[in-house]
Structure 1
Amino acid sequence: IRETIRSVLRDETTVIFRELLTTQKSDINNLLQQTLTSKSTISRTTTPIPTSSIIVSSPTIINTSSTLDIKQQHVLKVARVGQLNQAFEFALSASDLNLVLYLCENVRPPELFSIQPCPLQPPVLLSLIQQLSADLNTHQELKYRYLHEALICLDLSHPSVRDYLQTVLIDLSKKLHTYIQANPSTTMAKRFQLLLMASQGLVQKIVQQRATPIIQTTTSSSSSK
């Protein structure tokens, strides 16, 4: 009898436990589904927009930055292998003053202009003077050092730049004069004053060179008479 009772109780207990386990599993599954659904909703409403999508919306900025980096790497690579004229010519022809300044910052002017003959050809040298003097309110120390060395290295007799040379120097003188008048008491004004005197002196030499053949011709004609 005892064994029969134990057997019956065991069977009933097993059935009860199975029912409880089934109920618990169902409740747990429902709870998990509710939790996952809630997290999914929160994720959809609070997840920020990826940065990449914002960047794609402004391709001009990305392309400009990327292109500038590529150009910077190129001019620096060309300069490092000793092709200084080609490096500056590339930077100046890119119509990007930031690229020109980047190259100037990485090539020391005393070392550049101490090479004889000057590694920069006259047209490149004049273009460098013109672009650096376009705005004298920024990178003043760097521009002063380059303009100072460039004026010393100018070849006034070079036929390829003779006509263009005077125009560039007159424009440089105007830019220097404007800065000095606007900032008379600054340290850079005193330095730019030296550049102004140098550029004006070079203009006078060019004028004299152009007038000399006329004077010689006139003198020769008078002597023959």
Structure 2
Amino acid sequence: IRETTRSILHDETTVVFRELLTAQKTDINNLLRQSLTSKSTMSRTTTPTPAVPAILPSSTITSTSSTSDVKQQHVLKLARFGQLNQAFEFALSASDLNLVLYLCENVRPTELFSIQPCPLQTPVLLSLIQQLAADLNTHQELKYSYLHEALVCIDLPHPSVRDYLQTVLIDLCKKLNTYIQANPSTTMAKRFQLLLMASQSLVQKIVQQRATPIIQTSSSSK
């Protein structure tokens, strides 16, 4: 009887323990699921949505590039048809130094300034000098060639542009001197030194031309 009772109790105890273990496992799984669910919900609510970067419309970029291409084609067409003054005047008035450089790269300075008389009118020529001298740190060979040829072609006796000419030349001297002092040992500094000397000589000639009429008047009055 005792053995039978023990066997029955053992079986019942085993069943009870199994039921308890199963219930505990179920409770633990439920708790884990609730914990994971709450964490995912919190991460969704607290994590900020990444900002989408602003993208320029492709039409704007295309429009800008196409406008530049149209201008380049226009000045190149004018130059090929021999309308050199109109080509440079258009490029210089566009407020776009890249367009001016593009035209200079496609028109050799030796060929341009070998034409007599100079195909560029004096105001256009002075504007070209002014814009090319704005930044002497880029396209140095091209700018040197154009500035050298332009200084040779300047018409000093032209009284209507004498004041403007002197202003442009003085500004050119300042830009050349600044570059030479900043880069004294470079090859371009030596070449720019020649341009500086030529520009200073032209300024002195302008000053002398202005003083000459005064001297003649004073001598004639005596």
TM-score by length of 1: 0.73
2:221 aligned residue: 221
Q: Extract structure 1 runs of 4+ deviating beyond 4 A.
A: none
CA RMSD of aligned residues (A): 1.4
Gap runs ≥5 in structure 1: 1-53
What is the distance in 1 between the residues matched to 2:214 and 2:79?
A: 43
Q: Deviations over 1:162-208 (max 9, x none)?
A: 11000000000000000000000000000000000000000000000
Q: 2: CA distance between counterparts of 1:106 and 1:160?
A: 31
Query: Residue 72 of structure 1 contacts residue 102 of structure 1 at CA under 8 Å; is this kept in 2?
Result: yes
| Partner AA of 2:57 in structure 1 | V
> 1:197 and 2:192 equivalent?
no
SS in 2 for 1:118: coil
Residue matched to 2:97: 97
**Deviation at 1:221?**
1.3
Q: Tell me whether 1:115 sits opposite 2:115 in the alignment.
A: yes
1:65, distance to aligned residue in structure 2 (A): 1.4
Deviation of the 1:147 alpha carbon: 0.1
- Check conservation: 1:78, 1:86, Cα contact below 8 A: yes
Find the counterpart in structure 1 of residue 128 from structure 2.
128
Deviates further, 200-209 or 158-167: 158-167
Matched residue of 1:180: which SS? helix
Aligned partner of 2:72: which letter? Q
- Supply the distance in 2 between the matched residues of 1:135 and 1:64 (Cα, whole angstroms): 24
For the 8 Å contact 1:113–1:149, the answer to whether it is kept is yes
Q: What's the secondary structure of 1:161's corresponding residue?
A: helix
Which residue number in structure 2 is paired with residue 42 of structure 1?
A: none
Residue 82 of structure 1 deviates from its aligned partner by 0.3
Partner of 1:95: helix, strand, or coil?
A: coil
The equivalences for 1:129-208 within 5 A come to 129-208=129-208
Larger radius of gyration: 2
Task: Kindly state the Cα deviation for residue 160 of structure 1 after the two structures are TM-superposed.
Answer: 2.9
| Cα distance in 2 between the residues matched to 1:195 and 1:188 | 11
Instruction: Give the letter for the 1:56 counterpart.
Output: P
Task: Report sequence identity in percent.
Answer: 87
- Structure 1 CA distance, aligned partners of 2:144 and 2:117? 22
Contact persistence 1:55–1:62 (CA under 8 A):
no
CA distance in 2 between partners of 1:169 and 1:72 (Å): 28
Letter in structure 2 aligned against 1:194? L
Does the residue aligned with 1:160 lie in a helix, a strand or coil?
A: helix
Please report the TM-score for the alignment, with normalisation by the length of structure 2. Answer: 0.74
Q: How far, CA to CA, are the matches of 1:58 and 1:137 in structure 2? A: 33
Give 3-state SS (helix, strand or coil) of 2:159's partner: coil
Alignment correspondent of 2:86: 86
Separation (CA, whole Å) in 1 of partners of 2:194 and 2:65: 37
Alpha-carbon deviation of 1:55? 5.6
| 1: CA distance, partners of 2:122 / 2:202 | 15
Match of 1:56 in 2: 57
Gaps of 5+ in 2: 1-54
Paired residue total: 169
Cα distance, 1:57 vs. partner?
5.5
